[in-house]
Amino acid sequence: MIIKPRNLPIEIRKLESLQRRLSLKHPQYQHVSDQLGKFKSGHNGEESLDFPLSFLSTQKYRILHNLRLNDGSRFFQLDTLILSPQFLLILEVKNYSGTLTFNTSYNQLIREKDGLEEAFPDPVIQVTRQQEQLQAWMQAQLGFTMMVETLVVFANERTVVKSTENDKETMLRVTNRSALPYRIRELEKKHQHNKKHELKSLSDYLIRANQEIDWDILEKYQIKRTEIKTGVACPKCALIPMLREFRVWACPRCQFKSRDSHLEALKDYYYLISPTISNREARDFLHISSRDIAYWMLRRLGSKSAGRGMRYNLGNLFDYEG
Ligand SMILES: [Zn+2]
């Protein structure tokens, strides 16, 4: 049973908004595009686990995606956590292509692809750290720990995985995606005599403890606010800005007309600039001159008076989405 579904990660949403509103000539444009590609590939890898995980008994297992917990001093993030009555299992998903070699004496994963070698941090070490953090978290928050197992899952079926020292220990902790249900069944046998725990309260507690990440993306990529394109984007050809005509947005390039494209622009404002907006800021960002029209667009969002004026809560734009 999936208890906490996987949403499109905030990193991807923010980077998409940023890419849309950055000039192709901006010195950070390529870096932003590359980062977006990296996060999307990771997300696709995680989604590709849905099928093998659908073979698990929904009675026995509870699945939580994208958990971000605080162990007291820092945050740690778990792609997927599977809860069974006898043990917990952390899955760390990697969507790498090419030939991968674990160099366990140097704690690196070397990828060879198209004649190029590239080193990544050893994901087994990474997942071992998560295991320790989760156990410390349970001890501190709940006063007990459970057995925590880990598996690094390579999502790409064509990836070749090797280890330099023929290290069985490491290879036991990695799997490819289609073998995942069988590996979980093996763990089930290994832990069948463990003490049984009540899972509902544990999963409820984990969900309450989850803390979404938020950070200033313009600061992270060193982009000035004045370098962000303002205006409503055309949903058909992506041109910014569309023009406000009588009750509709009109694209001067492809002539597409739309009634509600300002909603997407306000979401970009939310991801890039601020979770709240004033009437004045909305007029500047959407390129409209009428205070009444801006009010009409914002009025359903809910507002709070702050200082001299109202600020509208853009978080409410997402209420109707999954
Ligand atoms: Zn257009």
CA of residue 223 to ligand 1 center, whole Å:
26
CA of residue 240 to ligand 1 center, whole Å:
8
Helical ranges in 63-216 per DSSP H: 123-142, 168-171, 180-190, 199-209
CA of residue 249 to ligand 1 center, whole Å:
10
Domains and CATH numbers, the chain: 2-209 (no CATH), 229-319 (1.10.10)
Question: pLDDT tens track of the chain, all 322 residues?
Answer: 788 888 888 899 999 999 999 999 999 999 999 999 999 999 999 999 999 999 888 888 999 998 999 988 889 999 899 999 999 999 999 999 899 999 888 889 999 999 999 999 999 999 999 999 999 999 999 898 999 999 999 999 899 998 887 778 888 899 999 999 999 999 999 999 888 888 888 999 999 999 887 789 999 999 999 999 999 999 999 999 999 998 999 999 999 999 999 999 999 999 999 999 999 999 999 999 999 999 999 988 887 776 677 899 998 888 755 3
CA of residue 17 to ligand 1 center, whole Å:
17
Give the β-pairing of 2-4 and 62-70.
parallel
Find the Cα–Cα–Cα–Cα dihedral 149, 155, 158, 163, rounded to 10°: -30
CA of residue 235 to ligand 1 center, whole Å:
7
Residue 22's Cα: distance from chain center in Å? 21
CA of residue 250 to ligand 1 center, whole Å:
8
CA of residue 232 to ligand 1 center, whole Å:
11
- Token duo for residue 250: 């009109």
Name the nearest CA neighbour of 80 among 93, 99, 61, 96.
Answer: 93
φ/ψ bin of 72: left (φ > 0), alpha (ψ from -120 to 50), beta (otherwise)? left
CA of residue 258 to ligand 1 center, whole Å:
10
CA of residue 238 to ligand 1 center, whole Å:
6
CA of residue 288 to ligand 1 center, whole Å:
18
